[in-house]
Amino acid sequence: MTTKWALSGAVLCALALSTATAVAEDTPRIEGEVSIEFQNDYNYESDDSDNELNDLFNTTEADISFYTTEEFYLNTHLTFEPVEDTDPEQNRFFGDEGLYVEVLTLNYETDSFFVLAGKFGPNFSIAYDAAPGIYGTELAEDDLEISERLGFSAGVAFGESGIPLGIEGIGRQELSASVFVADTTFFSESVFENRGQLNRDDGGPSNTRGFESFTLALDGYEFPEADGLRYQLAVAMQGVDSVLDDDGNEIDDVADEYRFGAAAEWAIGVTEDFSVTPLLEYVHFWNGGGIDGEDRDYVTASTLFEYQNWNLALAYTGRFIENDQGEDFDDYQFQVSAGYTFDFGLEASVGWKIREEENVETETFGALLAYSFAF
């Protein structure tokens, strides 16, 4: 039996946390997974009437790996989704949808070591991907996820089939590091609906001329005495050369962005049919978004209840912004959603969220159909 470190798709940033165990297979081979979602969001009430609209859209993601050996493979993650914001007060029906390459890496990995190069999501935060419900990840995803970067990543694992430490009960501990720069190649564009190519002049975190940005993360899981528990401690720095305001003008006071994050999630099996999974994450930004003197604090707290094929998700994210030169904001989002997964794999969910950004509150009712399959 061999343990594979998960380095694929939208969860690439949590590469050290998701593992799959499989019997060695013939190589070369191709394997992957496709996820298809249809979602409808109805913003029925807002302090800003521009936000009051209905948006029906599709998100399809394909994660494909080509193995030349059990240790060496090419991984790609393709995403098809809306690549433009909705227009004010305009309903949207499967509009502005484009296909782009989110991940494209060459990987080498064993039970205790991995290295990759290419376009990927550096390992920082778990809430942007793991918070449950239709909208659980939404506000956290805006800032916390670091995605579509070009660079290198490597990691080493200790305990539980990694490098032995001779210490009982520590589970699997994985230390990973990444160096990267924003993707300004043609891979930053999309087809069908072109979102445009990112340029150096667009500025922003990690949009520099060299590999100045990095992440460092310690992930732990597979604890013998705490089944289902995982944690992450992580730091990140993103180099900043320039930042543009909403009108496309350069901001005078910019600085490199620094982050610290701490997170834990525990899937607790209460009975054979019923489980509870709480998640808590805190992230602090210094010079958030590259704006000198802007501190940001993110707090995400959620709980997922699962009974047989049913699920109920409660999720809250608070974003607290303090700016030495500008206005302070206390943004937040709370969502509640419930769903049922049919035996053939289709999941149907409904949910409600309330979200406040820059003193504008919006309420949304939504529905989601999701289906995935592996090959």
Per-residue DSSP letter, 273: S
Residue 301 lies in a domain: no
Whole-angstrom Cα distance, residue 264 to residue 279?
A: 6
Helix (H, G, I), strand (E, B) or coil at 337: strand
pLDDT at 326: 78
pLDDT digits (tens, 9 = 90+) for 230-264: 999 999 999 999 999 888 899 989 999 999 999 99
Kindly list the distances between the CA atom of residue 159 and the CA atoms of 15, 71, 171, 179, 217, in Å, as whole numbers in the listed order: 17, 19, 6, 25, 17
Residue 308 lies in a domain: no
- Banded pLDDT at 24 (limits 50, 70, 90): low
Give the chain's domain count.
1
Q: Does the structure show a pLDDT above 50 at 175?
A: yes
Mean pLDDT estimate for the chain: 92
pLDDT digits (tens, 9 = 90+) for 48-98: 999 999 999 999 999 999 999 999 999 999 999 999 999 999 999 999 999
- Banded pLDDT at 161 (limits 50, 70, 90): confident
Residues ≥6 apart with Cβ < 8 Å to 182: 148, 149, 150, 198, 204, 205, 206, 207, 208
Share of the chain above pLDDT 70, in %: 94
Residue 272 lies in a domain: no
Domain with 240 in it: 2-244+336-374
Residue 255 lies in a domain: no
Query: 305 or 6: whose pLDDT is higher?
Result: 305
- Banded pLDDT at 26 (limits 50, 70, 90): confident
pLDDT at 14: 39
Question: What is the reported pTM?
Answer: 0.90
pLDDT digits (tens, 9 = 90+) for 120-133: 999 999 999 999 99
Residue 324 lies in a domain: no
Q: Does the structure show a pLDDT above 90 at 27?
A: no
Q: Does the structure show a pLDDT above 60 at 108?
A: yes
Name residue 101's amino acid.
V
Q: Does the structure show a pLDDT above 60 at 12?
A: no
Comparing 41-55, 136-150, 343-357, the range with the smallest average pLDDT is 136-150
Helix extents (H) in the chain: 127-130, 138-143
Residue 365 lies in a domain: yes
Q: Does the structure show a pLDDT above 70 at 18?
A: no
Q: What are φ and ψ of residue 187, in 5° steps?
A: -70, -10
Whole-angstrom Cα distance, residue 373 to residue 368?
A: 17
- Banded pLDDT at 325 (limits 50, 70, 90): confident
Residue 321 lies in a domain: no
Residue 180 lies in a domain: yes
Query: 327 or 357: whose pLDDT is higher?
Result: 357
